[in-house]
């Protein structure tokens, strides 16, 4: 039998083989940090690594927990196949479980917000903003993205690919991916339009008028605060239809935000 080369082909395998393959996306630094055993179970034998990878599907949701009873994973990923069989990251999150939680992912009545892209919990978002978080973050990140990218590229290579795609959910995600070597398949014009709008004499600057906590004048020169302003609708359109790609082991050298700081 040929080795699997796609999410769809991995999902056809027995459960233990799926776990063995998908665990490759977990950076060893993450396991070390939280003392998670290599077999991904706690001392009582309860699984810490959870998969939704139904046979016949071409996508997978994976979640790694540092404790069995903890509400949020330290790593969450939603991956799918492209039409050409490449791996596409729809969502990838690294959470610091030791940091405060902000309920930007749900309304006070518990309804999901899809991290603020479907609906918004404004009180939670404002608290997250004040705490230094970016849009969509329920907790502080782990600052393990370089290790995560290395692990993911090894996973991609193990499937026989040298290219993969990612869907940045917010503006700041796209800028971070740029800095780690990604280029744009779709969305470079939008990114350039955003940069022009926040540059001197740009059309977005007058809209940073403080009418909401998410539209601060300081956002002109801050990636994080720009992202909050864009999330707040300053563009007049949502931040969507942006797809990026990366060649394994190569840096594309794309920069769309000049010398803008975090």
pLDDT tens figures, 1-58: 678 999 999 999 999 999 999 999 999 999 999 999 999 999 999 999 999 999 999 9
For 56-87, letters b (16+ CB in 10 Å) and e give: eebbbebbbbbeeeeebbbbbbbbbbbeeebb
Mean pLDDT of all residues in 123-140: 98
Predicted TM-score (pTM) of the model is 0.95
User: What does the pLDDT read at residue 1?
Assistant: 60
| pLDDT above 90 for 129 | yes
User: What does the pLDDT read at residue 250?
Assistant: 95
Convert the pLDDT of each residue in 202-226 to its tens digit. 999 999 999 999 999 999 999 999 9
Convert the pLDDT of each residue in 54-113 to its tens digit. 999 999 999 999 999 999 999 999 999 999 889 999 999 999 999 999 999 999 999 999
């Amino acid at each position: 039998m040929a080795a699997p080369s796609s999410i769809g082909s991995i999902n056809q395998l027995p459960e233990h083989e799926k776990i063995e393959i998908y665990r490759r996306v977990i950076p060893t630094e993450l396991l070390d940090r939280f003392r998670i055993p290599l077999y991904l179970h706690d001392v009582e034998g309860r699984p810490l690594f959870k998969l939704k990878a139904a046979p016949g599907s071409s996508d997978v949701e994976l979640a790694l927990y540092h404790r069995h009873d903890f509400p949020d994973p330290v790593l969450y990923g939603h991956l799918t196949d492209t039409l050409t069989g490449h791996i596409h990251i729809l969502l990838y999150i690294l959470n610091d479980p030791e940091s405060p939680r902000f309920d930007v992912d749900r309304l006070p009545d518990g309804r999901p917000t899809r991290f603020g892209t479907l609906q918004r919990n404004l009180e939670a978002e404002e608290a997250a903003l004040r705490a230094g978080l970016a849009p969509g973050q329920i907790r502080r990140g782990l600052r393990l993205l370089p290790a995560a990218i290395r692990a993911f590229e090894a996973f991609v290579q193990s499937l026989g690919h040298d290219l993969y795609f990612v869907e940045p959910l917010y503006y700041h995600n796209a800028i971070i991916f740029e800095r780690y070597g990604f280029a744009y398949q779709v969305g470079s014009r939008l990114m350039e339009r955003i940069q022009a709008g926040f540059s001197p004499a740009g059309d977005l600057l007058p809209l940073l008028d403080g009418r909401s906590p998410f539209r601060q004048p300081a956002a002109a020169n801050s990636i994080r605060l720009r992202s909050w302003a864009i999330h707040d609708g300053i563009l007049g359109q949502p931040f969507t239809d942006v797809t990026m790609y990366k060649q394994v082991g190569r840096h594309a050298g794309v920069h769309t935000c000049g010398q803008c700081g975090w």
